[in-house]
Structures are given as structure tokens and as C-alpha cells.
């Protein structure tokens, strides 16, 4: 069977013989894949024009809801991907991480829509005042890049590897061209086929290359983004590709790294923490048969505990059931291919020049599998007693179920050994001692994208050493590639171009769709609390009546709240302070402002939703008169929770409290939930 590519809106079979794809467990030929004859310039142009144009027209909220719909669709189909996943050598738990984990990432990024304005672009930070009178100001905005996101993925996570990347670029408003690994692209293709069939994504938003992808980078241009997951050596080669350097194309590399697990000196043999550590190491050796970019490769333990760790780890590895993932009791499957077996064997041979094998086992006792046909590789543990003299351990990675035990004498030495890896995605430190944890973080954080501190308090809910989470950074410095994926909003910004817009506040308001302080007001004779969501306009302002603050106000507020801070209640204690006399509470000023701007009668406003920001900029003394300029700053439509919910949105109001001279004394942004006028879903 020829595995087709999905390009330019069509499924197209590859030309020529293609590359064979095998069942990793049985060795059976599944079919072929290929990418010969593909015009990548045309593929990218199609994505930029068709997918990019439609995605950029959508707001962050619309794109987020699109991701949510896609996640729900795939969640309903997820069980049908498991049999295919087993053919890659992945167990049921491995497949859960890949399939359900990938779909979970879609859900996570769908929920991030709430951290962006309901606009096609992102407002980055506050307005910058660049002139004395405030008539010439600036605002940074971040807009979707007008290219394609080219994702070159590894073989080990055919589903998660794709979904975790497209979750981010689609939310940002960029289309994707996914180059799946030719070894496992049959699983990626099955998921993409269901995505295409659903019609949820705009045309051109997602294209798939199932073959080798030779020449794919030759067609990239300055507005494109390239991401790569795989070996550090391949990543370095691609990062220096002529078209990447010539067009200054952003290149994000997430490379395999020599991740470490460190046993704290307080985690003595026989303690629960010691057992947690050994269990974590065993899990990372056998999960995905060690074929994870986050897998533990170096196990660094106090010298006095070396033998105890070796014995405990060997005992746990002896109990691991290896075989066909279709069998429910199997805990570790095969490597992805016979070629990968040869690669791991070669790397293991290099590692043995610096280390001795202290644990290995036969694969003759596989469950329902033939070791001669499948790509099976049993766990191996090495020992390097001279980590500073024999450095191959810190340079060579066997991308399989292989790790090396390393002794250390003191905590500083443990961190120094970790740093010999020249940059890692993650390390785990097992300790219950805060000082050990703090010292390690300070010494090792610069060399990591993530540090996992393991103890009894966190273990019950810990997602573990090897689990990149959608809202946390996935990447690392140096050998790990120097890039970053995921990380919540941080990841989305990778696909956006930051631009500073300079203008007067009124023009900035018109361009950004968010009221900028100093812009002209839109006056209305109708109080904004009498208007429905659709009727409110950005910049619409209500000027309230005024109130003169008295000492009685201050005393009553202090008695009501219990806030008797000296500046409000003891005028004799003000010498040497910033205050001239007794000062009104900041929260009295804000509370009184609410009394001034609120229209009390029942209307479209459903509730006060909270505060986005609040600053008290000038003291308010008895005798001063305050008023409020109450302005519609931003509007965010909300989706209905269920069919019984009403249609509504969040309106952010700028509360500008000013004194008798017109000078601002307090400024805040409040959120209100406002009913929509049109309750018809159609």
C-alpha cells in the first residue's frame, strides 16, 4: 500500500517505489511512503494563501474554539488509533501518552484563548508614553506571520509530536506543513485523514508529508517558521541550511539530550524517597523503550549508595514484561525498527569504551513476540566511575532503554556532572531537603529547560520526569537545541511578529480595537449599564457625578473594614512619610468610584467579574473632590456553556478616578459580564 501525502487540498500517492514501513513487533511490511516529485514551493504557497489568509481573519477566540472542536472530535475517535500505535512498538501506556496526550494538548491550547483579546492579533504589554503631553504614544502588537509553519517531526511520537506543534501555530493564526517521520507516518496519516474529513480546519491550514521530505527546506521564505525534533547532529545541519540562513527563517530545534536523574544525599536506601527515585528511573528506561527525547540517560547518585541503587534498579527491571503491546500485561514494547536496534547497539558499543555493563537481560522470554522478527532491545545499565575522566557518557546517547550510573561525592559535584551534558531538556532531583533543592536549581537551571523536583509530597500527582506539559516550556539550551516548544502563551508568540505601532492614542484605539488611555471619548446619553453587549462601543465613556471626600468617610471606612493603617487614622505619625495629612484608603477611593459609576437598577449587566489591574497614583486627602471617567476598554464575547446558558460577553471598563484638578488619582480595569441583546444562536 502506498501511503498518500495530503497536499494542496488533495490526497496524492507518492511517486516511485518509496520507503518501506514495517510493523516494529512482527517485522511485517505495512506499505511504503514517499515524497518524491512534490513541489514544495507550491505546497507552501498554497498554505500561505489558502490556510494563512483564513486563519489570520479569525480572532484568537475563534481559533481557540476551532481547536476545542477538533480536540473533541479526535477524542471521540482516539481508540481506533491504538492498534496502529501498537505497530510502532508502543505499549498501551505509551500510546496513551502519544494519542490522548496529543489530544489533551489541543484542549489545553484551546483554553488559552481566554488569555488573548478577542482579536486576530495580540496586544503585547501596556501603551508606551513617548511624548510629554501624551499625544504621541506607542503600543507593541503581535500579528501572525504570513508564512507556513514547517514541522519536521521525529518517529517516537507520531500523534503527540504533530498535535503539540499544530495546536500552537493554529492558535497563533499560521497554517502548518507537517513532515512526519517516514518510519511511523502511517499513524500520523490516520489522524490527519480524520482531521481532513471533519472539515473543522480551514482549507490549507494543515498539509502532511509522509515520506523523507528531501528538499523541503529549499522552499522556505522569511515569513515561514521551521521546527525540528530529532537528533542534535541532524538539527545542526538543518539549522544551517542555506535557505534558513539566507532568509533569517526562525528555526526552533528540540533535540535529544543526555537528561539526568540525581538522588539527593537525604534519600537513603530503604526510604520512600529512595524507592520513588528508582521507580522513576526504571519507568523512564522502559517507557517507549527509552525512545524519548526526555528519557533519563545519566543516573547520578551518592557514591555510598551506588550499589544499593544498582541492585534496586536491577530488581525492578527484572520484573518488566517485554513483548507484543497488543498483550495487556506487556509493560515494554519494541524499538521502532530494526534500523533503530542497530543504531542503539552501535551507540552502546561506544558507551562501553568508557563504562562497564552492570545490568542486562535476555529478550528470549518475550510475550507473544519473536525476537528474530521484531525490533526488540532489552534494558541495559552501565556504570561510569570516572565521569570527569571518561566523558563519552556525556557525549553519546543510545536512543533506547540504556542508562549509565554515575557516582558523586558532594552536591556541587553532582551539579557539575549534570553540566557535562552541555544542555538538557530536563533533569530530576529526588530530595526532601529544601537547601539541596535550591542549591541544585541555582547551579543547574541555566543548563535546562525544565527541572523536576521529586519527593513524597509531589509524587502522588507528579506527571513525572519525562512528560512535557502543554503550558510548560519544552526545550533546552546547548545540546538540547536552544529552542522551545509549548510553554503556554510563550509558545504562541514564536509564530507571531512583534511590531511597535506609533501614533496618537485615538489612532491606536482604532487600530488595536482596545481603548488606549488619552484617546477621545465617545459620549452617550445612556448609561453603559443600560446597554447590552452588542450595543456598547469601544471608547464609549460615562462621566459620573462627583464626591468630596471627608474625614468621616475615612473613619467610617477604617471601622467598617478594620484597616486602621496609621496613614489613615493617626495624623501625628506622618512625619517623615510621603503624606501631608491623613489620607483616604486606596480601596475607599475605588469603592467610592464604584458607587459613582454603577447604575443600580436591574439591566443587561449580570455581575462584576473582577479586576484586571488597579493603581493608586496620587494621595486623596479630606476636602478633595473625585469623579470617574468610565470607559468601555475592551469586549470579549463568551461561548455558551450549554444550551440552557444565556449569550453574554465580558466587557472591560477603564475606571479613571480623577480629582478637582482633572488629575488621575486611581486607575483600574474592571470586568463585567453583560448579557447579549440577540439570544438567537443562529
- Give catalytic residues, as residue numbers: 254, 293
Separation between Cα atoms, residue 330 and residue 350, nearest integer Å: 30
Contact 393, 384 (CB under 8 A): yes
Name which of 286, 287, 261, 284 is nearest 274 in CA terms: 261
DSSP 562: -
Other Cβ atoms less than 10 A from the Cβ of 518: the count is 16
Residue tagged 543547574 (cell numbers): 444
- The 3-state DSSP class for residue 30 equals strand
Q: Cα separation of 254 and 229, whole Å? A: 5
CA dist 52 and 45 (Å) reads 10
3-state secondary structure labels for all residues of 341-391: HHHHHHHHHHHCCCCEEEEECCCCCCECCCCCCCCCCCCEEEECCCCCCCH
Taking residue 639's Cβ as centre, other Cβ atoms within 10 Å add up to: 13
Separation of alpha carbons 174 and 495, rounded Å:
7
User: Which residues does residue 374 pair with via DSSP β-bridges, in sequence order?
Assistant: none
Distance CA 632, CA 614 (A): 16
Structure-block grid coordinates of residue 607: 455581575
CA-closest candidate to residue 209, choices 249, 228, 244, 182: 182
User: Alpha-carbon distance 438 to 445, whole Å?
Assistant: 10
Contacts of 344 (CB under 8 A, 6+ apart): 335, 377, 398, 399, 400, 402
Residue where the block lists cell 488619552: 518
Residues contacting residue 458 through CB under 8 Å, at least 6 positions apart = none
Cβ pair 22, 337 in contact under 8 A: yes
Task: Give the whole-angstrom CA distance, residue 11 versus residue 37.
Answer: 14
Nearest Cα residue to 414 out of 443, 451, 390: 443
Q: What angle do CA 382, 386, 390 make, to 5 degrees?
A: 80
Cell triple for 97: 501518552
Amino acid at each position: 500500500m502506498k501511503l498518500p501525502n495530503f497536499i494542496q487540498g488533495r490526497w496524492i500517492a507518492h511517486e516511485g517505489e518509496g520507503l518501506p514501513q514495517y510493523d516494529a513487533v512482527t517485522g511485517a511490511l505495512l506499505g511504503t511512503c514517499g515524497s518524491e516529485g512534490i513541489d514544495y514551493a507550491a505546497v507552501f504557497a498554497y498554505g500561505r494563501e489558502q490556510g494563512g489568509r483564513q486563519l489570520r481573519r479569525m480572532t484568537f477566540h475563534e481559533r481557540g474554539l476551532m481547536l476545542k472542536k477538533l480536540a473533541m472530535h479526535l477524542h471521540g475517535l482516539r481508540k481506533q488509533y491504538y492498534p496502529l500505535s501498537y505497530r510502532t512498538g508502543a505499549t498501551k501506556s505509551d500510546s496513551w501518552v502519544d494519542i490522548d496526550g496529543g489530544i489533551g494538548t489541543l484542549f489545553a491550547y484551546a483554553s488559552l484563548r481566554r488569555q488573548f483579546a478577542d482579536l486576530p492579533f495580540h496586544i503585547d504589554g501596556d501603551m508606551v508614553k513617548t511624548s510629554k503631553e501624551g499625544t504621541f504614544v506607542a503600543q507593541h502588537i503581535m500579528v501572525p506571520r504570513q508564512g507556513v509553519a514547517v514541522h519536521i517531526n521525529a518517529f517516537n511520537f507520531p500523534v503527540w509530536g504533530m498535535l503539540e506543534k499544530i495546536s500552537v501555530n493554529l492558535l497563533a493564526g499560521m497554517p502548518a506543513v507537517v513532515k512526519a517521520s517516514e518510519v511511523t507516518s502511517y499513524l500520523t496519516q490516520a489522524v490527519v485523514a480524520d482531521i481532513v474529513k471533519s472539515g473543522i480546519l480551514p482549507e490549507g491550514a494543515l498539509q502532511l508529508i509522509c515520506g523523507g521530505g528531501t528538499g523541503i527546506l529549499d522552499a522556505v521564505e522569511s515569513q515561514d517558521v521551521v521546527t525540528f525534533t530529532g537528533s542534535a547532529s541532524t538539527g545542526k545541519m538543518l539549522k544551517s541550511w542555506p535557505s534558513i540562513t539566507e532568509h533569517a527563517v526562525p528555526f526552533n530545534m528540540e533535540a535529544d539530550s543526555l537528561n539526568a536523574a540525581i538522588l539527593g544525599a537525604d534519600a537513603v536506601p530503604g526510604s520512600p524517597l529512595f524507592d520513588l527515585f528508582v521507580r522513576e528511573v526504571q519507568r523512564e528506561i522502559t517507557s517507549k523503550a527509552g525512545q524519548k527525547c526526555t528519557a533519563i540517560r545519566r543516573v547520578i547518585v551518592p557514591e555510598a549508595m551506588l550499589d544499593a541503587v544498582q541492585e534496586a534498579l536491577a530488581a525492578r527491571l527484572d520484573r518488566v514484561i517485554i513483548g507484543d503491546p497488543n498483550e495487556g500485561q506487556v509493560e515494554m514494547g519494541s524499538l521502532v525498527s530494526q534500523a533503530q536496534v542497530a543504531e542503539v547497539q552501535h551507540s552502546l558499543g561506544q558507551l562501553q569504551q568508557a563504562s562497564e555493563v552492570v545490568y542486562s537481560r535476555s529478550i528470549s522470554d518475550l510475550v507473544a513476540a519473536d525476537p528474530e522478527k521484531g525490533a526488540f532491545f532489552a534494558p541495559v545499565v552501565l556504570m561510569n566511575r570516572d565521569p570527569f575522566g571518561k566523558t563519552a557518557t556525556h557525549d553519546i546517547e543510545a536512543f533506547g532503554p540504556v542508562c549509565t550510573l554515575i557516582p558523586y561525592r558532594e552536591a556541587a559535584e553532582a551539579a557539575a556532572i549534570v553540566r557535562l551534558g552541555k544542555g538538557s531538556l530536563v533533569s530530576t532531583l529526588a530530595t526532601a531537603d529544601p537547601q539541596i533543592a535550591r542549591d541544585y536549581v541555582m547551579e543547574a537551571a541555566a543548563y535546562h529547560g525544565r527541572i523536576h523536583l521529586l519527593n513524597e509530597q509531589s509524587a502522588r500527582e507528579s506527571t513525572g520526569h519525562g512528560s512535557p506539559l502543554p503550558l510548560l516550556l519544552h526545550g533546552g539550551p546547548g545540546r538540547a537545541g536552544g529552542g522551545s516548544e509549548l510553554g503556554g502563551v510563550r509558545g504562541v508568540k514564536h509564530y507571531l511578529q512583534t511590531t511597535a505601532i506609533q501614533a496618537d492614542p485615538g489612532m491606536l484605539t482604532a487600530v488595536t480595537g482596545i481603548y488606549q488611555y488619552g484617546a477621545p471619548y465617545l459620549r452617550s446619553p445612556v448609561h453603559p449599564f443600560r446597554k447590552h453587549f452588542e450595543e456598547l462601543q469601544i471608547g464609549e465613556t460615562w462621566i459620573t457625578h462627583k464626591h468630596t471626600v471627608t474625614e468621616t468617610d475615612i473613619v467610617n471606612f477604617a471601622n467598617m473594614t478594620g484597616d486602621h493603617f496609621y496613614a489613615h487614622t493617626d495624623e501625628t505619625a506622618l512625619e517623615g512619610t510621603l503624606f501631608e495629612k491623613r489620607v483616604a484608603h486606596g480601596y475607599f477611593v475605588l469603592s467610592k468610584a464604584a458607587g459613582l459609576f454603577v447604575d443600580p437598577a436591574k439591566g443587561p449587566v449580570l455581575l462584576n467579574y473582577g479586576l484586571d489591574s488597579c493603581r493608586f497614583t496620587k494621595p486623596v486627602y479630606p476636602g478633595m473632590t473625585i469623579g470617574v471617567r468610565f470607559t468601555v476598554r475592551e469586549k470579549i464575547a463568551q461561548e455558551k456553556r450549554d444550551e440552557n446558558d444565556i449569550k453574554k460577553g465580558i466587557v472591560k471598563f477603564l475606571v479613571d478616578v480623577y480629582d478637582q484638578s482633572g488629575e488621575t488619582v486611581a486607575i483600574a480595569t474592571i470586568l463585567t459580564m453583560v448579557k447579549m441583546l440577540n439570544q438567537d444562536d443562529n
